[in-house]
């Protein structure tokens, strides 16, 4: 099956979710059901089959399928966690717009259409996520997002147009090729929030609904990275003469981002900010993998991006659940949280392990390969140590949970499941031989809402553990990530014969 059914379902669900973003019940139903239907359609989509369009083709590679699948599954779980805590209407629409747009980004042949689609997806997803409800903070963040997306796509168009293969004559000018690589590095740095371009990430984290952050901070930037990584090594590298001061600059920015991002994540009190700065510090991995202009680095980053997307979704879902459980996202106000929420602790520990990985896992090996492609000697050592920053930041959060519980934490609801008295009585009545089964079941059905209301905290914790499990699976290389990342970059934009 070609990507058309998935694209149609995701687009239709995105339109409906956008229209219903102000309605709590129908918005939830459309968002979750539409996302689920899109995930089912994606699973049924066979890699390799292409949809003929405009003289070219939109295909679905194995890599695009696994990246979109993990992003969509993680995003849906985060939406479910969020729905059990509060209602963030625009988030389902932002997720669905993101995956529909990324289908084009990853499936259309060539860097230029990919960049154009990535720019449009970034602007539209940002617009939907930040427009409702309107506040001055969100207006500022939206202006920044639309401006950044347009600038990135324009710079990308110029960089790709300057590529040696495109205009032959410039192939002998390594400075021009270096300039194109630098421009592409600038785009990647901006989309992932590399220091000093990290303001986008911080503002988005402050302004956007938390459940829209997995798609805005991780999934869509991953799409930009895949497009640029598919273009640059083939057209600009891997030839040493091209990597002059331009390559060095990107490496320095990547290393600085890893080190400074770690410090920034360690000094944050707001947990969403902690997660945001783990995204910032991981921008260094993308930049270093890109700067090598080497297919080995490219494949490593492509493989690493899948666990990156899954772990960020897991961390954001964890923060939403934490905030709902304790009424705060500030670490200083929730000391001793681990005793009250051990399942959340397990979720965080597993997600932390998946984020960093260990030797032999995909997350660890791919990250190290990306770093090795660009650095050597002491620089490699610094980069390797700095990439453990996420684990240190998460260990700090776990450590704060071990102390004496703050009053706010001590009075928070626990994670044990509870059953309403009415439901217990119905269960007892069903066990008696002369019980009126229909009437009892009808009475029990009225207890469904109280059952949900009493168990929001354990349900959120369960979903967080599921998110952590998804993150761990991707970190271990499940879903054939290694093979998919080493496969063809994008479908070839060759004319496709019309289907009879």
Partner 1 sequence: MTVLLLVAAALVALGAGVATGARSARAATVGALACLVFAPLVAEPLPEMPVALFRIVAGVLAAFLLLVAGRRAGDAAASPLGLPATLAVGGAAFAAGLGATAVGLPAFGPGAAVAAGLTCLAVALLPVIRARDAFRLGTALLVLANAGLLLRGGLAGTPAALEAMVGGATLAALGAAVAVLAGTAATATGSLALPGEATDRRRPPA
Question: Of these, 39, 99, 124, 258, which contacts partner 1 (CB under 8 A)?
Answer: 124
- Residues 412 and 374 sit within 8 Å (Cβ to Cβ): no
DSSP state of 419: -
Q: Considering only residues 166, 398, 454, 478, which one is a binding residue for partner 1 as defined by CB under 8 A?
A: 166
Q: Decide if residue 143 touches partner 1 (CB under 8 A).
A: yes
Of the residues 19, 43, 53, 492, which one makes contact with partner 1 according to CB under 8 A: 53
Burial of 43 (0-12, 13-18, 19+ CB in 10 A): exposed
Instruction: Count residues near partner 1 (CB under 8 A).
Output: 65
Binding flag, residue 116, partner 1 (CB under 8 A) = yes
State CA 428 to chain mean position distance. 46
Binding region for partner 1 (CB under 8 A) out of 51-59, 294-302, 389-397, 476-484: 51-59
Q: How far is the CB of 49 from partner 1 (least distance, A)?
A: 17
Q: Which of residues 199-218 bind partner 1 (CB under 8 A)?
A: 203, 205-207
Asked whether 317 and 81 are in contact (CB, 8 A), the reply is yes
Q: Does 141 bind partner 1 (CB under 8 A)?
A: yes
- Region from 137-145, 184-192, 213-221, 355-363 binding partner 1, contact rule CB under 8 A: 137-145
If residue 52 lies in a helix (H) or strand (E), which one and from where to where?
Answer: strand 50-53
Among 169, 360, 377, 433, binds partner 1 (CB under 8 A): 169
Closer residue to partner 1, CB minimum distance, 57 or 472: 57
Rounded least distance, CB 411 to partner 1, Å: 15
Residue placing its CB nearer to partner 1 in the complex, 127 or 368: 127
Residue with tokens 């339109």: 15
Cα 497 to Cα 176: distance, rounded to the nearest angstrom: 37
Q: Looking at 157, 379, 380, 425, which residue binds partner 1 (CB under 8 A)?
A: 157
Q: How far is the CB of 270 from partner 1 (least distance, A)?
A: 7
Q: Which tokens hold the place of 489?
A: 């970059």
Distance CA 398, CA 345 (A): 7
Is residue 128 close enough to count as binding partner 1 by CB under 8 A? yes
Q: Is 123 in the site for partner 1 (CB under 8 A)?
A: yes
Q: Is residue 16 near partner 1 by the rule CB under 8 A? A: no
56-88 as b/e, with b when 16 or more CB fall inside 10 Å?
bbbbbbbbbbbbbbbbbbbbbbbbbbbbbbebb
Cβ atoms < 10 Å from Cβ of 25: 9
Cis geometry, peptide bond prior to residue 238 (ω within 30 degrees of 0): yes
What whole-number distance in Å separates Cα of residue 141 and Cα of residue 49?
A: 38
Answer whether 316's CB lies under 8 Å from 214's CB: yes
What does the alpha-carbon distance between residue 468 and residue 311 come to, in Å, rounded to a whole number?
7
CB atoms within 10 A of CB 481: 27
Residues 488 and 50 sit within 8 Å (Cβ to Cβ)? no
Distance CA 20, CA 29 (A): 10
Q: Is 8 in the site for partner 1 (CB under 8 A)?
A: no
Which residue in the set 5, 36, 48, 140 belongs to the binding site for partner 1 (CB under 8 A)? 140
Among 22, 54, 196, 435, binds partner 1 (CB under 8 A): 54
For position 10 contacting partner 1 by CB under 8 A, the verdict is no
Q: Which residue has the tokens 């990275």?
A: 225
Shortest gap between Cβ of 248 and partner 1 (angstroms)?
A: 27
- Of 156 and 247, nearer to partner 1 (C-beta) is 156
Q: How far is the CB of 347 from partner 1 (least distance, A)?
A: 19
Q: For the segment 294-353, give every residue that binds partner 1 (CB under 8 A).
A: 323, 327-330
Task: For residue 362, state whether it binds partner 1 (rule: CB under 8 A).
Answer: no
Query: Contact between 242 and partner 1 (CB under 8 A)?
Result: no
> Using CB atoms within 10 A of its CB, is residue 133 exposed (0-12), middle (13-18) or buried (19+)?
exposed
Of 54 and 403, the one with the shorter C-beta distance to partner 1 is 54
Q: Based on CB atoms, which residue is closest to partner 1, 117 or 255?
A: 117
| CA dihedral (29, 30, 36, 40) positive or negative | positive
Its sign, for the CA torsion 200, 211, 42, 290, is positive
Stretch that binds partner 1, among 34-42, 139-147, 373-381, 469-477 (CB under 8 A): 139-147
Six token digits for residue 498? 């019309």
The reply on whether position 383 binds partner 1 by CB under 8 A is: no
Among the listed residues 19, 24, 154, 492, the single contact to partner 1 using CB under 8 A: 154
Select from 74, 89, 109, 221 the one that contacts partner 1 (CB under 8 A).
109
Nearer to partner 1, 205 or 257 (CB): 205
How far from the centroid of its chain's Cα atoms is residue 414's Cα?
A: 29
Cis peptide before 196 (omega within 30 of 0): yes
Q: Among 119, 193, 230, 254, which residue sits at the site for partner 1 (rule: CB under 8 A)?
A: 119
For residue 70 the two structure tokens come to 């993990």
d(CA 104, CA 116): 10
Instruction: Determine if 267 is a binding residue for partner 1 (CB under 8 A).
Output: no
142 binds partner 1 (CB under 8 A): yes
> Where on the chain is the footprint of partner 1 (CB under 8 A)?
53-57, 86, 104, 108-110, 112-113, 116-117, 119-120, 123-124, 126-128, 130-132, 134-143, 146-147, 149-151, 153-158, 160-162, 166-170, 203, 205-207, 270, 272, 323, 327-330, 493
């Amino acid at each position: 099956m070609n990507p058309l059914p998935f694209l149609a379902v995701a687009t239709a669900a995105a339109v409906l979710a956008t229209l219903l973003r102000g309605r709590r019940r129908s918005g939830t139903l459309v968002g979750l059901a539409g996302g689920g239907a899109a995930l089912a359609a994606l699973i049924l989509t066979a890699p390799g089959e292409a949809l003929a369009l405009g003289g070219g083709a939109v295909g679905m590679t194995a890599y695009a399928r696994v990246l979109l699948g993990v992003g969509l599954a993680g995003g849906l779980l985060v939406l479910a966690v969020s729905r059990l805590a509060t209602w963030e209407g625009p988030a389902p629409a932002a997720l669905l717009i993101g995956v529909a747009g990324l289908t084009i980004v990853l499936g259309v042949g060539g860097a230029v259409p990919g960049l154009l689609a990535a720019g449009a997806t970034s602007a539209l997803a940002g617009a939907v996520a930040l427009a409702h409800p309107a506040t001055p903070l969100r207006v500022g963040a939206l202006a920044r997002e639309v401006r950044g997306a347009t600038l990135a796509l324009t710079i990308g168009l110029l960089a790709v147009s300057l590529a040696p293969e495109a205009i032959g004559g410039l192939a002998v000018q390594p400075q021009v090729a270096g300039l194109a690589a630098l421009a592409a590095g600038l785009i990647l740095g901006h989309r992932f929030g590399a220091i000093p371009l990290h303001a986008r990430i911080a503002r988005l984290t402050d302004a956007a609904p938390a459940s829209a952050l997995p798609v805005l901070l991780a999934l869509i930037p991953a799409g930009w990275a895949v497009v640029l990584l598919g273009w640059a090594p083939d057209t600009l590298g891997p030839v040493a003469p091209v990597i002059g001061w331009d390559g060095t600059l990107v490496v320095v920015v990547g290393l600085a981002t890893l080190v400074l991002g770690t410090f920034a994540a360690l000094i944050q009190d707001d947990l969403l900010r902690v997660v945001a700065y783990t995204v910032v510090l991981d921008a260094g991995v993308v930049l270093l993998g890109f700067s090598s202009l080497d297919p080995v680095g490219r494949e490593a980053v492509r493989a690493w991006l899948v666990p990156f997307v899954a772990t960020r979704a897991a961390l954001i879902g964890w923060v939403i659940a934490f905030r709902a459980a304790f009424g705060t996202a500030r670490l200083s106000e929730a000391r001793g949280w681990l005793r009250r929420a051990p399942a959340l602790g397990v979720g965080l520990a597993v997600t932390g392990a998946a984020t960093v990985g260990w030797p032999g896992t995909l997350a660890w090996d791919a990250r190290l390969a990306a770093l090795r492609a660009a650095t050597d000697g002491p620089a490699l050592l610094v980069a390797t140590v700095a990439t453990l920053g996420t684990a240190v930041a998460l260990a700090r959060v776990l450590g704060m949970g071990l102390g004496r519980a703050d009053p706010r934490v001590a009075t928070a609801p626990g994670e044990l499941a509870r059953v309403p008295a009415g439901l217990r009585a119905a269960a007892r009545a069903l066990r008696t031989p002369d019980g009126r089964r229909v009437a009892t079941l009808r009475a029990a059905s009225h207890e469904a809402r109280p059952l949900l209301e009493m168990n929001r905290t354990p349900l959120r914790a369960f979903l967080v553990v599921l998110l952590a499990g998804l993150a761990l699976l991707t970190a271990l290389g499940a879903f054939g990530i290694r093979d998919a990342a080493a496969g063809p970059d994008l479908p070839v934009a060759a004319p496709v014969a019309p289907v009879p």
